[in-house]
Amino acid sequence: MFSRLLFFVALLLIPGVLRAEETPVQKAGFAKKLTIYLAHGPANACGAGCDRWIAIEGEIDREAAQRIRTFLFANKDRQLPIYLHSPGGNVEQSYGIARFLRAHKAIARVGRTIVPACSTGTQIDAACLKIKAAKGEVEAELTTRNAMCVSACAYLFLGATSREVAPDSVLAVHNSKLMFVVHGHPPAQVVADFRRREMVSADRDRNVFLAAMGISHELSDLIKSVKFEDLHVLTRPELYRFGIDTRPLPETLWAVEKETRPYVRKIVQQKRADGSAFRMMEWRLFCESKDRGRLMFVREFEEGAAGKGTVVMMAGATRTVAFGRSARFGKYEVWSEAVTSDTVKAMLAAPHLQIGESPPAADAKLDAKLDAKSDVKSDTKSGLATFDIGTTGLERGWTQLLASCPAATAGPKPASPLPAAVSPSVSAVPAASPSP
């Protein structure tokens, strides 16, 4: 969650002194200068088979573009993904960086890089920035949870040819603000005319830039409608419609949530029909004992749907979890089912998990097949709709949970519809509010 978001200032000049408006960047957890470094994390930290990435974070300052060019030219691996976490900054610099990323066919994602060596201070204190500025790779961890790329950072992000905004991260926009210092006492009308011309020029430059990046003109219209003092977090349908992130099933990696009762979580957004709407889903895997887990599935309730339907999860051809208990929390349905250690092992071994859902009318047709543990995917006549979700991060997360999990139970535990003291949190997009 963010207590404060910072906004970029487009700096223009009526002959006089050019100055930037002071902004408390560091107080919001960002360095005043754009930082770029090579990070190395655990296996699959940035996706299947990926453990190295480029971190770009902090405010986009007036020398940022040259530093980015120098760093990327020196880096021989052009396929490394770039993870952005920035409150914005200089617009012209972001345009320049974006065009450079486009020429290099960069892969960009919104994500926060966390350096454990900085744990004694903050991620932006002098000691930590020195670690990040050192040559070579920095040992780090990566998360998309509460990561943000807003204001001018959004323009920078658009330069990449492959763009991913995870369901629990934020890409946000608003209009520019022109600031200038005037010497002397020019007539008010002269100042107003200058401001108007420069805003027209800024709008034209933005339109040209977005068109070159292959982004719908609708985004420019939206940006113009959002006041500088406000901020608009792009919704998943907007990301899809504008051509920013056109994945039909964006998902997070499985990651441990260190709550009072830890669990491994994955969040997915699924496109409906033509992309005008997406629904949010979440999976949580709890460790109840060394030989038993509990899998919770949360999904947005289908408007106009009657009854609960059927939900199954298949890990390979031999292991199927049929969810039998559900509850309603507002607009969400919550399903929960106990899973044996053998089922968890099958989940960890599978490259993906297959999720099947059916409307209420198809329940009776599926009962016999579920009891027989058959491959439900092949039963297309039953009305079961299936889709796959990845398992990257699940094995590492489950291993962490086992370290603090109780010993194996002596006998079966009574089933409960939901783990104790747990409620769904599917709406994972961080709340964004502008600075006062």
What pLDDT band is residue 434 in, cutting at 50, 70 and 90? very low
Domains 10-241 and 255-402 share a fold: no
Question: Is the CB of residue 337 less than 8 Å from the CB of residue 324?
Answer: yes
Output the pLDDT for position 303.
Answer: 65
**What rounded mean pLDDT belongs to the chain?**
82
In one-letter notation, the amino acid at residue 166 is A
Q: What is the mean pLDDT of residues 47-64?
A: 96
Q: Which residues of 188-203 are buried (b: 16+ CB within 10 A; e: fewer)?
A: eeeeeebeeebbeebe
Dump pLDDT digits (tens) for 166-180.
999 999 999 877 666
The pLDDT of residue 111 is 98
Q: How many CB atoms lie within 10 A of CB 216?
A: 15
Between 3 and 68, where is the model more confident?
68
Instruction: Place 351 in a pLDDT band, splitting at 50, 70 and 90.
Output: very high
pLDDT at 378 over 70: no
Q: What average pLDDT does this structure show over 45-71?
A: 96
C-alpha distances (whole Å) from 278 to each of 157, 234, 275 are 22, 13, 7
Please report, rounded to a whole number, the percentage of residues in the chain having pLDDT higher than 70. 79
Q: Higher-confidence residue: 115 or 420?
A: 115
Instruction: Average the pLDDT over each of 51-65, 231-245, 403-417 and give the range with the smallest value.
Output: 403-417
Task: Determine the pLDDT at residue 15.
Answer: 31
Q: What pLDDT does residue 355 have?
A: 94
User: Whole-model pTM?
Assistant: 0.84
CATH topology of domain 255-402: Immunoglobulin-like (2.60.40)
Q: What pLDDT sits at residue 202? A: 84
Mean pLDDT on 334-340 = 93
Residue ranges of domains in the chain:
10-241, 255-402
**Which CATH code is given to the segment(s) 10-241?**
3.90.226
Percentage of the chain surpassing pLDDT 90? 58
Q: What does the pLDDT look like over 232-270, one tens digit per residue?
A: 999 999 999 999 999 999 999 999 998 888 999 999 999
- The arithmetic mean of pLDDT across residues 132-161, rounded, is 95
pLDDT (average), residues 47-70: 96
- 174-202 confidence digits (pLDDT tens): 987 766 666 777 787 777 777 778 778 88
Task: Choose the weakest-confidence range: 117-121, 260-264, 329-333, 419-423.
Answer: 419-423
